[in-house]
Amino acid sequence: MCEFCTKHGEGKKWYEIMENYSQELLNDPGRRTYIEQFVPRVRKSSKDNLSQLEWVKKKMPLAHRFIRKIASVSAKKYHFGQVVPLEDAEKIVEMVQSVTRVPCVCRTVLAGKSNARYCLLLGINPTDYNVDWPELKENLEVLSTSEAKSVLRDFDKQGLVHSIWTLKIPFIGAICNCDRDCLAYRYQVGSDLLELMFKAEYRAKIDMELCVGCRSCMSMCQFGAIEYSVAHDKCYINAQKCYGCGLCRVACKTQAIELLDIEEIFVV
């Protein structure tokens, strides 16, 4: 299990604990201020920070390693994520008091798309906050539990990775549904600049008897974790690269791929 499971999960997956979505946490004055400042801060500086960190990593690798360590530790106190498969994302929307679909600030910053509604706020009514986010009022949508599940399934079919995100640890405030225009993806996976999210509590496994070597799963994986053997005409999972998102299952026509809980994989 990840370190948050140990600190905030009572021996379970930390995002299965109701307290981490509680109104008591949400109503903390410091958290309210953090939430109100979050989007304006991301919109103002995240793209420039990304470019600057890429330059530092290339030109000053020792300095980058120091910055990476400090910034990653800070992120784990405030805004940190974890990949979750569809099944767990559906369980989460069953647990929370409300789900509100809002525009994705990452896609606003990186792709210039102001109405890309790929983020789900959990238990948060954004209209209760003084947030400088012009597109928000025009594009927010309150979803029922069944509607939220349907949206998540559609995102899954589109190849979007589900991930949960904190707004000051340990409060879980959002499920994001990401592609390569996600800031966390660019920072962590695309450029290896910072650690901003944990892998899922699962890893994918391919049944070699069922795999026909079509390689459809490879195009679905955002993490480059699926490799192909010409000699065997089979695909296989690189466990070191796999984030356990489960999207590869969507592309597999023979249902050769399953997700295994890492607790089961590493128990001897």
Residue 268 pLDDT: 42
3-27: average pLDDT: 92
pLDDT of 251 strictly over 60: yes
The DSSP annotation for 212-261 comes to: ----HHHHH-SS--EEEETTTTEEEE-TTT-----THHHH-TT--EEEEE
CB-based contact 108:114 (threshold 8 Å)? yes
pLDDT of 7 strictly over 90: no
Q: Locate all alpha helices (DSSP H) within the chain, ordered by sequence.
A: 3-8, 23-26, 29-59, 61-75, 86-95, 105-111, 136-139, 145-157, 183-184, 216-220, 248-251, 262-265
Structure tokens at 106: 């990452």
pLDDT of 103 strictly over 70: yes
87-99: average pLDDT: 97
pLDDT digits (tens, 9 = 90+) for 55-84: 999 999 999 999 999 999 999 999 999 999
166-192: average pLDDT: 95
pLDDT digits (tens, 9 = 90+) for 169-181: 999 999 999 999 8
Structure tokens at 74: 């800070």
Residue 266 pLDDT: 58
pLDDT averaged over the chain? 93
Q: What are the structural domains of the chain?
A: 3-198 (no CATH), 202-265 (3.30.70.20)
Distance from chain centroid for Cα 46: 17
pTM of the model: 0.94
More confident site: 118 or 2? 118
102: part of which helix (H) or strand (E)? strand 99-102
Rounded to whole angstroms, the Cα distance separating 70 from 55 reads 17
Of the pLDDT bands very low, low, confident and very high (cuts 50, 70, 90), residue 232 is very high
pLDDT digits (tens, 9 = 90+) for 42-56: 989 999 999 999 999
